[in-house]
Structure 1
Amino acid sequence: MNFTEKPISSKEVFKGHLINVEVQQVKTPEGNIAQREIVHHAPAVAILAITNDNKMLLEKQWRAPIAKTTLEIPAGKVDSRDQASVDHAARRELNEETRLQAGKLEKLSSFYTSVGCMDEYMTLYLATDLSPVTNALPKDQDEELVVKKVSLDEAQAMIASGEIEDAKTIMAIYYWQGMRANG
């Protein structure tokens, strides 16, 4: 079966700092006309940062869309400073948000964050052999972060209790669990 929809019209209805929103009229394979609302977002990175004492870094921060604080792994968008390099973005975000650098940075996976409405494509990294940065990059002025370290057992309990609700963070914790189970 052919699933491809054919756009009939498209209109950008919002252009912002973080996202752009497009409304499309499409023709479905069955010939129906439908509306699609699409959020365009820059590529992004997320970092499962494991300390030398085998703890992961989490960041507590306010998230306006859900009107509460969350616990998340370090993450951010790939921007002009990165010259389209997701590796550079991961190292930059780790520096900006945690003031640490990775002796080893390994790509784990790439995925779409919310395919029903958004085109954001995120790359998850594992950062190990962490040490303090020698040249701290400026922090984003609109971010207030508190970094904490937790063990795998603590992170799993935080998922079970609902304290961690962020999908990329849950994915990273389960990846870490799998790493530990496989040696």
Structure 2
Amino acid sequence: MDKFEERTIASETIFKGKVVKLQVDEVSLPDGKTSKREIIKHPGAVAVIPVTKDNKILFVEQYRKPLEKTLVEIPAGKLEPGEKPEITAKRELEEETGYTTNELTFLTSFYTSPGFADEIIHLYITKDLRLLEEEVAGDEDEFVDILELSLEEAEQLVKDQRIHDVKTAYAVLYLRLLESK
């Protein structure tokens, strides 16, 4: 047993939506006291770093209602039940950018907000992009523009807080680390 482990005594689902479930757990702390934890359960997601033949990165620009602003992000999306992450990655790439690939390379996985959510994102990269002959229908409530940026331009958008989400900032950092090897 981990010396910091909190054991669940009781769990109550407060809300179950299309994307997340909110539960409140009563836990036993390592010192024997009890506390409450509000936890968001998420099915997980994928993100893709699409690199073009001329070494540009494809990003999507879209409005994010929780933040009340537009962000520049790498293509990403939620895992469907029972779906393998690489299938989700290819689907999201096609829906959001109009490109496809047959070569997805897994880079890493990471948690987005471990203090209150269990969401994990699986990060992939592809350097084998092909424009789809026919457009794939994406989510009907999703509106995006495509941007092609160099790594340096992406780093500037991080500084300018136009890239302001962890998955995309992490991807830009990861690319810089790969480039320095």
Please report the RMSD computed on the Cα atoms of aligned residues, expressed in angstroms.
1.3
Deviation at 1:114, TM superposition (A): 0.8
Deviation at 1:116, TM superposition (A): 0.4
The answer for unaligned runs of 5 or more in structure 2 is none
**Counterpart AA for 1:125:** Y
Task: Give matches, 1:57-136, under 5 Å.
Answer: 57-80=58-81, 83-136=82-135
Query: 1:127-156, CA deviations, whole angstroms, 9 ceiling, x for partnerless residues?
Result: 111111245432101111111110111111
The answer for unaligned runs of 5 or more in structure 1 is none
Partner residue in 2 for 1:37: 38
Checking the alignment, whether the CA contact within 8 Å between 2:70 and 2:162 is kept in structure 1 is no
Inter-partner Cα distance in structure 1 for 2:118 and 2:135 = 31
Aligned residues with identical type, % of pairs: 38
**Counterpart AA for 2:132:** V
TM-score relative to the length of structure 1: 0.94
Inter-partner Cα distance in structure 2 for 1:109 and 1:70 = 23
Checking the alignment, whether the CA contact within 8 Å between 2:28 and 2:34 is kept in structure 1 is yes
Query: 1:29-50, CA deviations, whole angstroms, 9 ceiling, x for partnerless residues?
Result: 1011111000011110000111
Alpha-carbon spacing, 1:88–1:135, altered in 2? closer, same or farther (3 Å): farther
Q: State the number of aligned residues.
A: 180
Checking the alignment, whether the CA contact within 8 Å between 1:103 and 1:128 is kept in structure 2 is no
Bigger shift: residues 24-33 or 158-167 = 158-167
Query: 1:3-49, CA deviations, whole angstroms, 9 ceiling, x for partnerless residues?
Result: 11111111000010110000011110101111100001111000011
Partner residue in 2 for 1:154: 153
Inter-partner Cα distance in structure 2 for 1:69 and 1:76 = 17
Query: 1:103-124, CA deviations, whole angstroms, 9 ceiling, x for partnerless residues?
Result: 4210000111110010111100
**Counterpart AA for 1:100:** Y
TM-score relative to the length of structure 2: 0.95
**Counterpart AA for 2:71:** T
Deviation at 1:161, TM superposition (A): 2.0
